[in-house]
Chain A
Amino acid sequence: MWSFILRRILLMVPTLLVVSVISFAIIEAPPGDYMDSYVNALLQQQEAVDPAEIESLRKRYGLDAPTYVRYFRWLGNIMQGNLGRSLEWNQPVTKLIADRLPWSLAISVASFFLAYALAIPIGFYSATRQYSIGDYVFTLIGFIGLATPNFLLALLILWYYFVATGNVAVGLFSNEYLVAPWSFAKFIDLLKHLWLPALVVGTAGTAGLIRVMRANLLDELERPYVMVARSKGLSETKLLFKYPFRIAMNPVASTIGWTLPTLVNGELLASLVLGLPTIAPLFVGALLSQDMFLAGSVVMVLSTLTLVGTLLSDIVLAWLDPRIRGAI
């Protein structure tokens, strides 16, 4: 088991290198650079543009060097923990990301746990009582959840919250905790605000997971080993959890890997609607203004998170199913 985990961690190194090349290529793909969008912005504000000054700025930031030189320069800095400087914000990228990443992660992790905590028991119920009224009700709710766009759900919840409480539920903290140092009360306050974006972000995923869980478990319930377990005299509940449930969890666990990045995607609209200081709005801004150090770093950070998620799901899978431990 330990050698399995070590092998997986070592394999992440070449993967990250490939990811860095792809991230860089994606950032470089649109024509022009930050200076072009800077010039555009100045022109829009009817300000004078000095081409010589722009050229010298371009030189200073190394934007005139060939692509591969810029790639290695960028990679070299990343290796030293220096993600560069955001041209748009005029701040170190590390600081920008460090300020916002924890909130993104908090929302992602909260909606992740919400999704699994709801989907697994509901999927289990639906499968063991297939075609019961409860199954149909959950299926209906699931399809509605799957079909509702996140932003619409966010707006609806906002409106309902406002009507019900008279407050506008935006941000992650109440006013009195906004600048207060960390305390247990502040943490509770965070949880009180976190459920809303978590619900918005997690709904579609939950609905999908319910279907996956239900379908897997239905498949497993038909397997001969379930009948064998029954023939041994095990009680139905014990048997369900020990045998088919564990195998049915297998594909559910393997979704952990791609759940993390989708949650970050899903977080975008929720954050924009709810006005949350997370990574996603920052990323969109960076892409629009071709702020390459910031955009590239965000892609790198998200990719790393995806790889970590995949590693986690692989570890869970190996724990669930001994056949996987021998594989790479």
Chain B
Amino acid sequence: MSQSPLLLSVDNLATHFFSQEGILEAVDGVSFDIHAGEALGIAGESGCGKSVTAQSILRIVPKNGKIVTGAISLLQNGESVDLVQLDDRGQEIREIRGGEIAMVFQEPMAAFSMVYTIGNQITEVIRLHQKCSQDEARERAIEMLQRVGMPIPEQTIDAYPFALSGGMRQRAMIAMALSCHPSLLIADEPTTAVDVTIQAQVLELMKDLQRDMGMALIVITHDLAVISELCDRVMIMYLGKDVESAPADVIFRDPKHPYTVGLLRSVPELGEGHTQELDPISGSVPSPYRRPAGCPFHPRCPEFIPDVCDVELPPQIELTGGHRVRCHLYVQD
């Protein structure tokens, strides 16, 4: 894995939303790297800034949001482009969107427009990025639908999204995202809105496609099972900060940050019997408008060190084997 080139490097990204209630620091200093063909999982509770991180990469943050600091370097045709510096309506970023980096959204019901056939919406992105005729685009769309396991793709392509089931819509969504063979696919909660049996199929499908097409993958989820299924590396986010990141097997075996430890403990395990006691993290996520000083997790942390954690933001500490953690417990002096 380490031999493959660095595809995307996010460095100290901060995206804030400006509204009448104040400034919401949705993403506040997040750094991570993705190599070609690698799968990264970004996990955390709702509102921790996972989705906004993804939207920042594509520069499609909703209108009150703004990237305030940081750099996002994408390796494109052997050259590095800083996506933050591009005009968010310009030609360059539009060629990257859907072409180099594609995205699968959470709710397939709302993500497709109901007034055009899925074929119309898929061929649109093909024709935008690959110079080809309408007929060719249609053929490629059918091929892609076939590939994601859509039943009778020659007919389904002319179906309106409201006529399809949730699982079929999510397949169509994946087909649309992959139709231009992106080098990076961002999947924002790809299995949240579909039922459990479909979830397994969608995960299986994404795993196969990632392997076959050799693309990199960012999976955004609050479901740690999805990550263990799909990802090579994991980044845990809490209140807009990257608290810990490590190879997937390491993080499940040897979590370092108290938040990660708590997160893993709150997941029920199969085979533990029905008397298994869950151990939820105490307290709740504070309002993002009133972010705690110092380490954002300190009010809920069982290992809280007074006068340290509530004062100073912990630095990112590099442990062995690509394991990084942002916690005062691991500061060595």
Q: Report if A and B associate in a common complex.
A: yes
Residues of A within 8 A of B (CB): 222-225, 227-236, 242-243, 246-247, 320-323
C-beta contact mask, B57-81 vs A, less than 8 Å → 1, else 0? 0101010000000000000000000
Asked if A233 and B95 make an inter-chain contact with CB atoms under 8 angstroms apart, the answer reads yes
Q: Known pairs A231-B97, A233-B95. 19 more at Cβ < 8 A?
A: A222-B62, A223-B110, A224-B105, A224-B110, A225-B110, A225-B113, A229-B113, A230-B58, A231-B60, A231-B103, A233-B96, A233-B97, A234-B94, A242-B116, A243-B113, A246-B115, A247-B113, A323-B115, A323-B160
Is B128 part of the binding interface, using a Cβ–Cβ cutoff of 8 Å?
Answer: yes
- Contact residues in B for A225 (Cβ distance below 8 Å): 110-113
Q: With contacts A225-B111, A243-B113 known, is A322 near B105, CB below 8 A? A: no
Q: How far is the CB of B110 from chain A (nearest CB, A)?
A: 4
Q: 10 interchain pairs (CB within 8 A)?
A: A222-B62, A224-B111, A227-B55, A231-B60, A231-B105, A233-B96, A233-B98, A235-B89, A320-B115, A321-B115
Residue of B nearest to A222 (CB): B62
Q: How far is the CB of B315 from chain A (nearest CB, A)?
A: 34
Is B232 part of the binding interface, using a Cβ–Cβ cutoff of 8 Å?
Answer: no
| Chain B, interface residues (CB within 8 Å), range | 20 to 34
Is B154 part of the binding interface, using a Cβ–Cβ cutoff of 8 Å?
Answer: no
- Contact residues in A for B105 (Cβ distance below 8 Å): 224, 227-228, 231
- Contact residues in B for A235 (Cβ distance below 8 Å): 89, 94
Asked if B113 and A230 make an inter-chain contact with CB atoms under 8 angstroms apart, the answer reads no
How many angstroms between the C-alpha atoms of A232 and B105 in the bound complex?
12
Q: With contacts A227-B105, A323-B160 known, is A232 near B97, CB below 8 A? A: yes
Q: How far is the CB of B170 from chain A (nearest CB, A)?
A: 13
Asked if A231 and B98 make an inter-chain contact with CB atoms under 8 angstroms apart, the answer reads yes
Asked if B97 and A230 make an inter-chain contact with CB atoms under 8 angstroms apart, the answer reads yes
- Contact residues in A for B115 (Cβ distance below 8 Å): 246-247, 320-323
Is B124 part of the binding interface, using a Cβ–Cβ cutoff of 8 Å?
Answer: yes
How many angstroms between the C-alpha atoms of A144 and B124 in the bound complex?
43
C-beta contact mask, B151-189 vs A, less than 8 Å → 1, else 0? 000000000101000000000000010000000000000
Is B99 part of the binding interface, using a Cβ–Cβ cutoff of 8 Å?
Answer: yes
How many angstroms between the C-alpha atoms of A224 and B103 in the bound complex?
12
How many angstroms between the C-alpha atoms of A227 and B110 in the bound complex?
10
Q: How far is the CB of B297 from chain A (nearest CB, A)?
A: 30
Asked if A233 and B114 make an inter-chain contact with CB atoms under 8 angstroms apart, the answer reads no
Which 10 A-B residue pairs are closest in the complex by CB-CB distance?
A233-B98, A233-B97, A232-B98, A224-B110, A233-B94, A232-B125, A225-B113, A231-B103, A228-B111, A230-B60
- Contact residues in A for B107 (Cβ distance below 8 Å): 224
Q: How far is the CB of A39 from chain B (nearest CB, A)?
A: 62
Asked if B60 and A233 make an inter-chain contact with CB atoms under 8 angstroms apart, the answer reads no
Residue of A nearest to B106 (CB): A224
Asked if A227 and B113 make an inter-chain contact with CB atoms under 8 angstroms apart, the answer reads no
How many angstroms between the C-alpha atoms of A45 and B107 in the bound complex?
78
Is B207 part of the binding interface, using a Cβ–Cβ cutoff of 8 Å?
Answer: no
Q: How far is the CB of B175 from chain A (nearest CB, A)?
A: 13
- Contact residues in A for B124 (Cβ distance below 8 Å): 232, 234
- Contact residues in A for B103 (Cβ distance below 8 Å): 228, 231
